[in-house]
Amino acid sequence: MDAVLLSRIQFAMTALFHFIFVPLTLGLVVLVAIMETKYVTSGDEVYLRMTKFFGKLFLINFALGLVTGLTLEFQFGMNWARYSKFVGDIFGPPLAIEATVAFFLESTFLGVWIFGWKKLSKKMHAVSIWLVAFGTNISALWILIANSWMQHPVGYIVKGGKARFVDFMAAATQPFALLEFTHTITAAYVVGAFFVMGVSAYHLLKNNEVDLFKKAFKIGAAFSLFATIAVFLTGDLHASEVAKTQPTKLAAMESVWNTQKGAPMYLFIVPNPKEEKNSVEILGIPKMLSILAYHNPNSTVKGLKSFPKNDRPPVLITFLSFRTMVGLGTLFVLIAIFAYAYMKRDALLDKRWFLRMMIYAIPLPYLAIEFGWIVAEVGRQPWIVYGLMKTANATSTAVSVSQIVMSLIGFVALYSMLGVIDIYLLIKYARKGPESAEKITAESGGY
């Protein structure tokens, strides 16, 4: 293996592992804020205990997610020095805003929320967790603005061998950035909702704190219904933007080899592993791909053969990841509908098969998000900045293969340990259940 491939493997491993923690942080913090708001507005102590219980799980995930994110930034300077030199003036401002504004907002008010139970009024304490939720979501926005510029660079010039902004707002407000953000954030909400429903289902099966976990499941079910539908809508819009800005990625996602006007969408495709010949296409819906991609049944979809071979992304992994992501997303909508319907009919406790299924469904949204990022990043290849800089030209020249191998082994060992710790702590405290009402009241200063 060469240094480029090893650097790609290392960054992919650390990024995918880090993103195990990120979506639960983004989704669960909003749900915890909703739970505390329910307590403030209703005065029902059940919601206070619920907030404390899921808040503890949020804090465990947040702490480990913070640690795993630090290594990503170091890799830009170490493994990807030529990339950092070329786009430093572009990549720096969004990440600086994320660190100095969004991260400090969320971390400051997270401290207020943790230590403010006996010092703030109920309303102000609830405001603090909403500010944490706002900060985490704004943090994601700026990071995704930086990533979206790599996907679709705008508002820049190349001068002195470096890319420089001439219109920062063009990059910050471009449709690709906003759609990537909304699609990612709503997918994170699905992760949070399924986590709350899965943990609640575990306790309902054991008849533990039935009233509390029925209410928690209801919050998760309503949130999941909104989030799963939102993911589908934003995904459709985002796919249309990808079709306009990254036609090679669209062709790889659908394994389209020949350019077609009014392109059909094939429900089943067997892509050629060698990526040299056409795929085997089965059960096509006439003009559907043109409709989905461009919202016009007569639009032309460019095939992979329209592009130079060395500009085509890996087809098989992009195609399979996209199909898996969409299939899981469809499943989530169905699960959310059933969950909400059972709660509305107060039939949840009678559907023990469904409760058991919800426990096993907890990891599925994680997988869908990871496959989505594989589509986004592998589908962009061979470009690290689409149409502007190739990945092969972005790595450091001073880092040897042996150094990358050693650091990769170290990262795998460290992240495996952190992953075991995170899963162990989440399972331990999720199974333990909420603290007693007396203890919660004492810790919360009497409210």
- The residues spanned by each domain of the chain are 3-259+302-443, 260-301
Cα 84 from Cα 408, distance rounded (Å): 20
What value does the mean pLDDT take over residues 228-232?
92
Measured CA distances, 416 to 239, 254, 357 (Å): 33, 34, 27
Cα 195 from Cα 206, distance rounded (Å): 17
Contact, 9 vs 408, CB < 8 A?
Answer: yes
Q: Is 55's pLDDT higher than 60? A: yes
Element (H, E) at 365: helix 364-378
H-helix segments, 152-207: 168-173, 175-205
Q: Which of 199, 202, 171 is nearest to 93 (CA)?
A: 171
Q: Is 241's pLDDT higher than 90? A: no
Task: Say what the pLDDT of residue 446 is.
Answer: 47
Segment 341-369, tens digit of pLDDT: 998 888 888 888 999 999 999 999 999 99
Number of other CB atoms surrounding residue 249 within 10 Å: 25
Measure the N-to-C terminal CA separation of the chain; round to a whole number of Å: 60
Q: Which of 376, 388, 400 is nearest to 86 (CA)?
A: 388
Confidence of residue 282 (pLDDT cuts 50, 70, 90): low
Task: Say what the pLDDT of residue 426 is.
Answer: 84
Burial class (CB in 10 A: 0-12, 13-18, 19+), 180: buried
Q: Is 277's pLDDT higher than 70? A: no
Q: Is 70's pLDDT higher than 70? A: no
Q: Is 334's pLDDT higher than 90? A: yes
Ranges 5-14, 169-178, 352-361: which has the least confidence:
5-14
Q: Which of 243, 245, 290 is nearest to 266 (CA)?
A: 290
Q: Compute the mean pLDDT over every residue in the chain, rounded to the nearest whole number.
A: 84
What value does the mean pLDDT take over residues 387-408?
78
Confidence of residue 189 (pLDDT cuts 50, 70, 90): very high
Q: Tokens 């709503």, residue?
A: 186
Q: Is 229's pLDDT higher than 90? A: yes
pTM (two decimals)? 0.88
Task: Say what the pLDDT of residue 336 is.
Answer: 93
Ranges 225-229, 351-355, 407-411: which has the least confidence:
407-411
Task: Say what the pLDDT of residue 344 is.
Answer: 86
Segment 299-313, tens digit of pLDDT: 888 888 888 888 888
Cα 365 from Cα 386, distance rounded (Å): 28
Task: Say what the pLDDT of residue 395 is.
Answer: 77
- The rounded percent of the chain whose pLDDT value lies above 70 is 90
